């Protein structure tokens, strides 16, 4: 069994080879569209010596920053219509507009850390026509902070576990599998709760969304 094609050692070596060959590209692509789980895992891989933690930070920074810049411009050129067509975004967008009215700079700097608002926020900010340079600068700063925190968070998670596990490298892949399984379960629960909320609340009218966007946001110049 241990010598078979699907032995644990074979699977572990296959994963390690994939991470070594395509790890940075995978980080960039994943952070372009999603959140921090892959960055934490990549930081953990860096502690195992499969990746360079500084390049993990760079890949996550570039991916997250580029993705949110794209979503901002999509929002700027049709974000209100896009949000109005997606029931799952409408309540979140209303919340973003409320925060944007009171704490514009802080929201742009920290939106990556807002569970439930992270994906819709750059579209909503673009739809609000926040100035391009302002979003560019604050988005870059936020991406830097986010990438460093989660990359080194994963790295020091590995360092902490190493202190308590005698055969750390033997159990590392199991730990990573547990992290990924937990993240998948969180995502499934989130989707189920979101779908239930949409079913109970229904779609907000376009007029209400546009009115809130136009009247509650601070001036864009």
* pLDDT at position 209: 43
Please report which confidence band the pLDDT of residue 136 belongs to, taking 50, 70 and 90 as the band edges: very high
Among the residues of 34-115, which ranges form H helices? 37-47, 53-76, 79-85, 87-102, 104-110
Q: Residue 33 CB: number of other CB atoms within 10 A?
A: 12
> Of the segments 53-57, 86-90, 198-202, which one has the largest average pLDDT value?
53-57
DSSP class of 67: H
* pLDDT at position 1: 43
* pLDDT at position 2: 46
How is 109-172 classified by DSSP, letter by letter?
HHGGG-TTTTTTHHHHHHHTT--HHHHHHHHHHHHHHHHHHHHHHHHHHHHHHHHH-TTHHHHH
How far apart CA 148 and CA 142 sit, in angstroms, is 10
At residue 45, does pLDDT exceed 60?
yes
* pLDDT at position 190: 66
* pLDDT at position 182: 76
* pLDDT at position 176: 74
What confidence tens digit (pLDDT) does each residue in 63-76 have?
999 999 999 999 99
Looking at per-residue confidence, does 216 or 84 come out higher? 84
* pLDDT at position 218: 43
């Amino acid at each position: 069994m241990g010598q078979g094609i699907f032995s644990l050692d074979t699977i572990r070596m296959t994963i390690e080879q994939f991470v070594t060959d395509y790890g940075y590209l995978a980080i960039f692509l994943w952070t372009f569209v999603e959140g921090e789980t892959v960055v934490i895992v990549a930081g953990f891989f860096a502690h195992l010596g499969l990746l360079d933690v500084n390049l993990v930070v760079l890949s996550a920074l570039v991916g997250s920053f580029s993705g949110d810049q794209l979503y901002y411009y999509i929002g700027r050129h049709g974000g209100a219509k896009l949000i109005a067509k997606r029931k799952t975004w409408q309540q979140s967008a209303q919340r973003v507009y409320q925060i944007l009215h009171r704490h514009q700079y802080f929201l742009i700097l920290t939106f990556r850390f807002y569970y439930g608002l992270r994906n819709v926020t750059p579209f909503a900010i673009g739809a609000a026509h926040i100035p391009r340079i302002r979003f560019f600068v604050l988005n870059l700063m936020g991406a830097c902070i986010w990438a460093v925190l989660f990359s080194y968070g994963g790295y020091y998670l590995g360092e902490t576990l190493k202190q308590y596990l005698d055969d750390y490298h033997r159990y590392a892949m199991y730990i990573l599998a547990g992290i990924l399984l937990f993240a998948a379960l969180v995502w499934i629960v989130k989707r189920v709760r979101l779908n239930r909320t949409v079913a109970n609340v229904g779609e907000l009218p376009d007029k209400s969304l546009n009115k809130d966007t136009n009247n509650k946001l601070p001036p864009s110049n």
